Structures are given as C-alpha cells and as structure tokens.
Structure 1
Amino acid sequence: MDPPERTSVQETPAAPVLLGSRCADEEAGSPVKAAHSAELNLQKTSKRANGLQDDSEEDPGRGKCRLPLLNWFRLLWRLFGSFAPLGMLSYGLQQGFARGTSEFACKYYMMDTLQLDGATMGRLLAVAHVPWNVKPVLGMLSDTMPLMGFHKTSYLVIGCVFSLLAYLWFGCVALGTSGLVVFMLSVNLSLALSDLVIDATAARLGKEHAAHASDLQCALRSAEATGGIVAGAAKGSLVALISPQGTSLVNTLSAVGVLVPALLGWLPEERLPARQRCAPNVKEFHKHPLMSAVAIVLSVVAIGLSLVHLFVEDMRLRATITIICAMGIGASTMKALSGISPYFGCTALFIFLRLVLQPGLGEAMFVWLTRFPQGPQLSTQLMGITDCFGQAGILIGLLCYRNFMTNWPYRKIFLVGQMAYFTSQLLDICLVMRWNRLIGIPDFLFYVGDTAFDLAVSKLFYVPLVVLAYKVCPANLEATLFASLMALNNIGCDSGKFLGVSLCEFWGIVDGNFDYLVHGLVTKAISRLLPIPLIFLLIPCHLTPNDPVPLHKPEN
C-alpha cells in the first residue's frame, strides 16, 4: 500500500509563538507540522550563518520584563528593527490622527460653510476616496520603477511632502465645492502612497517572520486606533475653536512626523546600484500576469464608479452600474487571487461582497445626529469624542482577536463578526425611534456604545485576511498584492456607500427630510444578514489564522 500523499503547503513556519501557539505534543504527530519544523530548522541554520537573529530565539543576555506590553515592543524591535516604530508612526499619525481629523473637518466644512445635504456629502466623500482604490497602479509603479535608487523610501517621502502641501493649501485658502474635492483627493493620494509603502514592507517582513505576522499587523492597527483615539478626543474642539481650516494646519505636524524618520532611513531598504536606480523592472509581473491585469482593472473601475456617481443624477442607473461593476470585480479578483492561493481568493471575495451588500447611511445619520431638530443635536465636541470611543472599540477588537481568536477557524470568526454587525444595526434603529430614552439611556451614551461596538467588530474581518495575505504573498510583488487587497476592500466599502446614497434617495432621506430614516435603517439591517450564506460557501471550515496555508484545497 502506497504511503499517503503529503499536503503541499506554503513555506512558512507552522504556528506563531506568541499568538495562541499550540503545544508541541499536539502537533508532534502531524506530517505537515514535521515538514515545517524541518524547514524552520534550515532557516535558523541559514540565519545563524549570516549572523542574523532568529524569530524564536531568546536573547540570553536580556532578562524577562514583567510588563507584557514592553516585552512585546522589545520583540517587535528585535525582529523588525526601525520599521516597527516607523510603521506605527505612519499608521498612528497619518492614518489614525490626520485622516480622522481631516475627514471630520471636511464634513463640517461641507455642512456649515458649503450648506450641502447628507446625500451630497456622501457622494463627494466617496468620490474623494478614489486614490485609495487606485492603489494597485501605485503598487505596480513602486514595484517596477525605483526613484533615486529606492522602491519604497522615495515614495514614502513623496507622500509625506504631498500631504504637507495639501494641508497648507486648505489651511490658507477658502475653498469651494470643487476645490474641496481636489483637496480631499490630494490628501487621500498622499496617504495612500504612505500606506502602500508601509503595507508592502510589512508584507515582506511578515513573510520573513511569519510566526509573528499577527503581532506586526496588530501593532500597526493598534497604533492606528491609538492615533484615532487622540484624534477623537481633540478634533471636535479643534474644529469648534480654530475652524476646519485651522485643523488642517495642525495636520501638517503629522506629515512632518513621518517625513523626518523616512529621510533618516528608518525604512529597511538598501539603495540599488547606480545603473539600476531609475531602471524599470517588470520581470516579476510576467510571473503573475493575471494579478497585474486585475490591479489595472481595479483602478480603472474605481475611477469610473467615482465619475458615474459624481455626474450621473439618475438613482437607478447609478445603483445598476455599481452592482454590475461589483460583480465583475468580484469574479476577476477571485480568479487572480486564487492563482496565489484558493483559500486567499475565496476569503478576499467574501470580504469584498460583504462590504458591497451593506449599504451605508453614514452622512445622512451624521446630519440627523447634529442638525435635525427632533434628533439628538450632538455638538461638534461630542461627535469628536464619539469617534474617540469608536477607536477604543477598535483596540478592544484587536485585543480580542490577538488573545482569543487566532486559533478560531476563519468561518467562526466571520460568522460571529457578521452577527455582531447585525446586532449593532438594531441599536441605530432604537436610537432613531428614541427607544433609548424610554429605558433612561442618554442619546450620547447610546450612540457611543453603538459606534465602539461597530468598529470593534470591523477588525475581525480585515486583520485575519491581511495575516493570510502575509503567508501567501509572492516575493517582489508585495506592493501590488497589498495595494490590490486594500483597493478591493475600499471599492467594496465605497460601493456600499454608493448604494447607501441610492437607498437614501429611494426613501427620500434628502434635503433635511428624515421622515423615512427608520425605513432606511431597517433595510440596512436586513442587508447585513445577506453575507451569512456566503460564509458557508466561501470560507474554509477548519483553517485558522495560525495555520500554514495549503497550496491546494483538499479534494472531497
């Protein structure tokens, strides 16, 4: 009788050390784990020969610290060097603080200075989000075209300089609607460039130290949430005291805070030889032509959708085009990503479809919460503090994932998260119906709890997907793959927002009319049940974030 065929797996360490590592006795009998153990030993030997520190080795000269958080930061520094603080600065200052305060200031500028309604605000904000959706093209540019001898550092510096100039422009010039859209596009483009570089570098380092990929991702997202907490605590007062334009001037500090360490060389990247410093390198894309084609398609569709929703007035036509584009993106992206790993392709498709199937009413709710006479009429300061609690919810979500869920199957994580999403939507309905007052809960506390809960759940979807991507990402294609992944997430989110605008128009939630707001929220709540069947169709039932990723699905 022939021996059983061994499962082919990606060449990554078997299980993380910090995050829910299984004991050796449980895994000793597994041939897959044994193969990974042998591979890990070879990697250790190679690293010692090159004088490098291995992930799993303790430094005997260092005593153990009694503070787990400090120990964790020491581990990140030992494994990832100066990239750990640089990545956390970028996520904390640019993604958490500057992005949060800038969008908040723009909302009040549109509502109070430009006198726009919630539906129009939603369309403009979604259109201004398009640079995040063209990140695949930016990723291809970074992977193929070095500038001054660097594939990553030069683009990070350009992004920081561009955001600095954009913040100074809005801070010093009173803008109309068109000018504000250009400003938001410029800021998002600069932030997308910085985010692209950090994600691509994190992908490379996360693959080199796969046992600690979840630690690196949690560190970056925790920094983003911490920056968001500071932004939430400060942005309401900043907008109220020094105006939206003054808030933009404050954000110049975030650009400088990342620009300086980037110029000091904190990004782990060697400069190319003189003859290669500006020479394009496209050979890696020939290995994955479908991935490159999808990256271009994602960017083109993102721009097309934004133009449609900016210039087309017919609600039904906009909604129809959005759904058709979403179906095309989903099918093509799954085919491309499944060529890298079938599990990765199915999981990414689910994340995309669940975002499309969840229309958002964010800007309409924002106007109802702040300006509607029969609504809560929350002040600018209270709305900012609400976001502060929301970012704290993200930290709680990351903490729950890191400590309890990394050994859960992906299917269980997503099912629990989606049911929690549905529950949080019921809280919105209770707030609009004013039922919270019947049980003595103030509007502010009820809205804070809903926001924190909603954002805490959001990380239960994206972070596991990123950890999965770390393990399967091909070498030298990190920027393109992670840019495409982020674009897929952003296009799904924006498609949901576009459909939410159509939902507002369908129920007549425009021009300050909120008579049918509760009907829109009920429709939104029902739509949050639609992704549940997709979980059982697309998500593997046994694979966990800690497991090595098989190259092929087992045959039934």
Structure 2
Amino acid sequence: MSIICTKLFDQFNQLYSSFNPSYFIIGVTAFNQGIQHLSDLAVNYMLKDEYGLSPAMMGLYLSYTTLPWMIKPFWGIITDSKPFLGYRRKSYIILFGILDALGWIMMSKNKDGSLVSVLLLLFLIQLSICFVNVVGEAILVEVAAQASREQRQNNFQHGASRNVSIFFGVRAVGSLLSAYSSGALLHYFTYQQIFMITSIFPMILVFVSFFYQEQKIDVNSLDQNDRKNNTTQCLKDFWQFFKNPLIYKPVMLIFAFMMAPSSSTIMFFFYTEVLGFNPKFLGQLKFMYAVASISGVLIYNNYLRDIQFRKIFLVTTFLYYLCYQSIIILVTRKNVEWGINDKIFCIGDQVMLQFVGELNIMPVLVLACRMCPKHIEATMYAMLMSTINFGSMLGSWLGALFLIWMKIDQTDYSRLWLFIAITGVFILLPLPWLYVVREDEILKQREKPLEEEEKKEVQSSTPSTSKRDEVEEKVPLLQNEDNPNQ
C-alpha cells in the first residue's frame, strides 16, 4: 500500500509541475463518479432480498438503467454545441450534479416503493452521472489537445496517457474509498440511509463547480456559422471523421472485445449464497479491487504507456483470459480440495483479474483519447466511451441469456463452471482483427482538421501583399513543427 501511495504522490508531483487549473475539476468529477459506488452493494442486496430478483433478471434490469451511457455521443453533441447559461461545461456539471443528488435523496425516501420506481430513479442517477462524466472527459481531451499543440504535437501519446491515467486513477481512488466503506455501512445503516449519504458527494461536486473558471459565452452573439456552435455541422464533422476506416474499424474492434458475456451478477449470488460471504467481506473484496485498479493505472502510466497498442493489448488479453478461467477452480470447489481457503483464493484470483483487466483497458482508453479531433472532443470521446459501455451492456444481456439457456440460478450452480469456460472464449475472439489498429495513421488523421484550421488562421493573419511574403511567413512555422528544439 505504501508503494502505491508513493507512486500516486510522484504522479501528482509531476502533474503539479505542469499544472492546468482544469485538472482540478477533472479530478473532482472523476472522484465523484468513483465514490458513488458506495451504494452498489446496497442496491444489489436490495434487489436480491427485498425484490427477490434472480441473477439473470438482476443483470437485465440493471443493464436497462445504464442506457444513458449508450448514447453518450448525444450528450457530447449537446455540451459541444449548445452553451447552457453561458457555459459549455460548467453549467451542465452543476445541473446534472443537482439531479444526481436528488435521485439519491428520492431513493432514500422510496422505502417500500415499487421495483419500477426504483429502476426509474436508478436511471435518473445514471443519466446524471453519465452527463457529468461526458463533460469531465471533454475537458480532459481539451487539456490533452492543448498540451500537444503547445509542444508542437510531438508528445501527444504521453499527454493522453497522463490525462487518462489521472481521470481513471482518481476515479479508482473514489471507488477504493467507497469499497472500503460500502460493506461496513451495511452493518450499521439501512439501504435508505446509505442512499442519503451517497447524495452528499454530487452536491460537493456542484459546490466545487461554481469555482471552475471557464470563459463565458454570450449566447445571443454566437455565430452559427462557426463549426463549434453549429449542431448540424458538429454532426457532419463527426460523421466525416468517423466514417474513415482508420477510425471505425478500431471502434468495432473495441466493441467486439467489450461484448464478452458478463458473469458479475451470478458471481455475486455465488459469493453470498454458496460461499456465505457477508457484506463486510464483499466490501473488503471491492476495496482490494480498487487497489488493483489503481496499481494497474500506475504500472501502465509509468512503464507501459510507450508500448505499441497491439502488443500490450494482445499480451494483456491473453493474461486476462487465463485469470478469468481460473474462476473455474473456485466454482468447482477445487481450491477446497487443495486446502486453499475461499476468501484467500478470491482475494488472490479476483484481485489479479482486476489488475490485469485494468492493464488491458487502459490502452483502449488512451487510444480513444488520441482519436478525438478538435471541436468535437466531447462528441467523439463520448462515442468511443459509449461503444465501450454499449458493448458492456450487451455483455450483461448475453451473460443473462446464457444463464437462462443453461438454467443456472440461485438454486443450481452445477453448470456454472461451463458458463465460465464458454463465455471466456468471447474474450479472445477479437484478437485476429488487431491489425486494424494503426496508431500512427490514426494520429495523422486526427490532426488533419487541426492543420487545416491552423493554415486558415495563418492565411487570415498574413498581409495580402504578395504570394512570396505569404510563403516566407509560413516557412519558419513549418520548420519549427518538424524540429521543436529549434
């Protein structure tokens, strides 16, 4: 744990040396998203015990509440092209932070309410978290792009890796703190009281957002011919960029990878019904997951960020598959025959699975950040993230369908090992198509709109005396782009 803290301190020390005020709101937004996992166990236990849902139905119902994450590009278009109360980012964080808090407060007042009302409130909460997430990620991409332009576009890989690591690392810290507390809280508080406690954190985000410095926009004076103020043009730019095979093929690869059927709900039931794990231990297990996630982020950002995407993704996917298949040892109870305690096995096996999974997903997130062109940062990054989320949701559906088809529920776990074996194959299926990811060409494609805009700016600022003068103005700029040290 001390090593992790030291690494975190080093990361923030490096961040301070190149501090941008936007990092603060990015960090608070990420932390707020992570800390709200405080209610995850309470929601799961409530749906299991009070509403009597089976593993398959719980997975299906919870996947419906995540639908806002499937249409993240829509929220991205709104925040990119439609200022609200004079701001593109700040006002949206405040609005949806308030809705987020109200959702948890209403959950706390909804005791003995219908299942439909609970799902609708969870939908509202997910919508609010999702919109704030889109805005935070848009600021993240803007900061990375700004830093790359200041460094003459030669170090965007490092900038993207650092910013993505900051966002998801801080979010993992929030998840870690929530995991440490979530299981223990169930011993002392009711579900409703935990929901009320959770509502505090989005309100803190709302308070902090009032101090976020963002240039105010006079909505009445906006030029709708400006690309970034025109929703239709924003959509055209997005489609023009996305339809390039260099872009949509990697997106399809990411989508296929995320579609692997999920086993999370059935394993929650297995832990509680078969292994008899109590909420306190499940909270400790979630805490270890968060530690593994932070460790994965730190390892990637310090040692692996310069490795080619295809190499690291190939290796980590195979490792993730092997870790996932090791769950068969637990569900067949072989670990007991070998004299390994269930809790010890789960901590070792699941923590390693989480760690490798973080190393596996980080290159995907960095690649997504690198693919975003100027003016449609929120839209493009939201589309890429929604691809990941939509794939995960389909994975939940596929997992539920497999459970129903194989007749696995809380009364019969005899075929659970077969479920793990079959669904694990889906993890490896996308690997033959890794060749579609060509990082250097993707980055060149991303920079095309930026280069065109810079040329226009140079032309507009150059006196129209003669063609020769115009060329002479441009030559030093082009030389500096090729040689940043000059």
TM-score bracket relative to the smaller structure: 0.7 to 0.9
C-alpha spacing 1:227/1:82, structure 2 compared with 1 (3 Å): same
* 1:81 and 2:29 correspond: no
Where does residue 270 of structure 1 map in the other structure?
A: 215
Deviation at 1:191, TM superposition (A): 0.4
* 1:256 and 2:154 correspond: no
Where does residue 476 of structure 2 map in the other structure?
A: none
Where does residue 181 of structure 1 map in the other structure?
A: 119
Where does residue 4 of structure 1 map in the other structure?
A: none
Deviation at 1:285, TM superposition (A): 4.5
Determine the C-alpha separation between the residues in 1 that align with 2:286 and 2:399.
Answer: 21
C-alpha spacing 1:262/1:378, structure 2 compared with 1 (3 Å): same
Determine the C-alpha separation between the residues in 2 that align with 1:197 and 1:550.
Answer: 25
Letter in 1 for 2:437: I
Determine the C-alpha separation between the residues in 2 that align with 1:81 and 1:380.
Answer: 40
Match of 1:220 among 138, 149, 167: 167
Determine the C-alpha separation between the residues in 2 that align with 1:278 and 1:106.
Answer: 47
The answer to whether the Cα contact below 8 Å between 2:261 and 2:397 also exists between their aligned partners in 1 is yes
Q: Once structures 1 and 2 are overlaid, which stretch shifts more, 524-533 or 103-112?
A: 524-533
Determine the C-alpha separation between the residues in 1 that align with 2:312 and 2:258.
Answer: 16
Where does residue 425 of structure 2 map in the other structure?
A: 526
Determine the C-alpha separation between the residues in 2 that align with 1:414 and 1:288.
Answer: 31
C-alpha spacing 1:200/1:160, structure 2 compared with 1 (3 Å): same
Give the 3-state SS of the residue equivalent to 1:81 in structure 2.
Answer: coil
* 1:114 and 2:51 correspond: yes
- Is the helix fraction higher in 1 or 2? 2
Letter in 1 for 2:261: P
Determine the C-alpha separation between the residues in 1 that align with 2:370 and 2:325.
Answer: 37
Where does residue 204 of structure 1 map in the other structure?
A: 142
Residue deviations 1:182-214, cap 9 Å, x none? 111011011011101100011111111133221
Give the 3-state SS of the residue equivalent to 1:149 in structure 2.
Answer: coil
Deviation at 1:239, TM superposition (A): 2.1
The answer to whether the Cα contact below 8 Å between 2:100 and 2:129 also exists between their aligned partners in 1 is yes
Where does residue 325 of structure 1 map in the other structure?
A: none
Give the 3-state SS of the residue equivalent to 2:444 in structure 1.
Answer: coil
Give the 3-state SS of the residue equivalent to 1:134 in structure 2.
Answer: helix
Letter in 1 for 2:444: P
Deviation at 1:410, TM superposition (A): 0.9
Once the two structures are superposed, the pairs formed by residues 314-463 of structure 1 within 5 Å of their partners are 337=242, 339=244, 342-356=245-259, 358-371=260-273, 375-463=274-362
Match of 1:538 among 423, 426, 436: 436
Where does residue 465 of structure 1 map in the other structure?
A: 364
Determine the C-alpha separation between the residues in 1 that align with 2:168 and 2:234.
Answer: 31
Deviation at 1:76, TM superposition (A): 2.5
* 1:283 and 2:199 correspond: no
Where does residue 11 of structure 1 map in the other structure?
A: none
Give the 3-state SS of the residue equivalent to 2:84 in structure 1.
Answer: coil
The answer to whether the Cα contact below 8 Å between 2:101 and 2:202 also exists between their aligned partners in 1 is yes
Determine the C-alpha separation between the residues in 1 that align with 2:107 and 2:298.
Answer: 37
* 1:234 and 2:181 correspond: yes
| TM-score, scaled to structure 2 | 0.82
- What root-mean-square deviation, in Å, do the aligned CA atoms of Structure 1 and Structure 2 show? 2.4
Match of 2:381 among 482, 489, 500: 482
The answer to whether the Cα contact below 8 Å between 1:150 and 1:277 also exists between their aligned partners in 2 is no
* 1:165 and 2:70 correspond: no
Determine the C-alpha separation between the residues in 2 that align with 1:539 and 1:471.
Answer: 12
Letter in 2 for 1:143: D
Determine the C-alpha separation between the residues in 2 that align with 1:352 and 1:152.
Answer: 28
Determine the C-alpha separation between the residues in 1 that align with 2:221 and 2:61.
Answer: 41
Determine the C-alpha separation between the residues in 2 that align with 1:221 and 1:483.
Answer: 15
| TM-score, scaled to structure 1 | 0.73
Letter in 2 for 1:187: I
How many residues align? The count is 429
Deviation at 1:116, TM superposition (A): 1.1
Structure 1 runs not aligned, ≥5 long: 1-66, 293-334
Residue deviations 1:327-355, cap 9 Å, x none? xxxxxxxx95353xx54433322111111
Residue deviations 1:67-95, cap 9 Å, x none? 87546424434545332122112212x22
Where does residue 457 of structure 2 map in the other structure?
A: none
Where does residue 82 of structure 2 map in the other structure?
A: 145
C-alpha spacing 1:205/1:533, structure 2 compared with 1 (3 Å): same
Deviation at 1:282, TM superposition (A): 4.8
Once the two structures are superposed, the pairs formed by residues 85-104 of structure 1 within 5 Å of their partners are 85-92=24-31, 94-98=32-36, 100-104=37-41
Structure 2 runs not aligned, ≥5 long: 1-5, 149-154, 447-486
Deviation at 1:274, TM superposition (A): 5.5
Determine the C-alpha separation between the residues in 2 that align with 1:465 and 1:271.
Answer: 34
Determine the C-alpha separation between the residues in 1 that align with 2:217 and 2:396.
Answer: 42
C-alpha spacing 1:336/1:118, structure 2 compared with 1 (3 Å): farther
C-alpha spacing 1:181/1:460, structure 2 compared with 1 (3 Å): same
The answer to whether the Cα contact below 8 Å between 1:146 and 1:278 also exists between their aligned partners in 2 is no
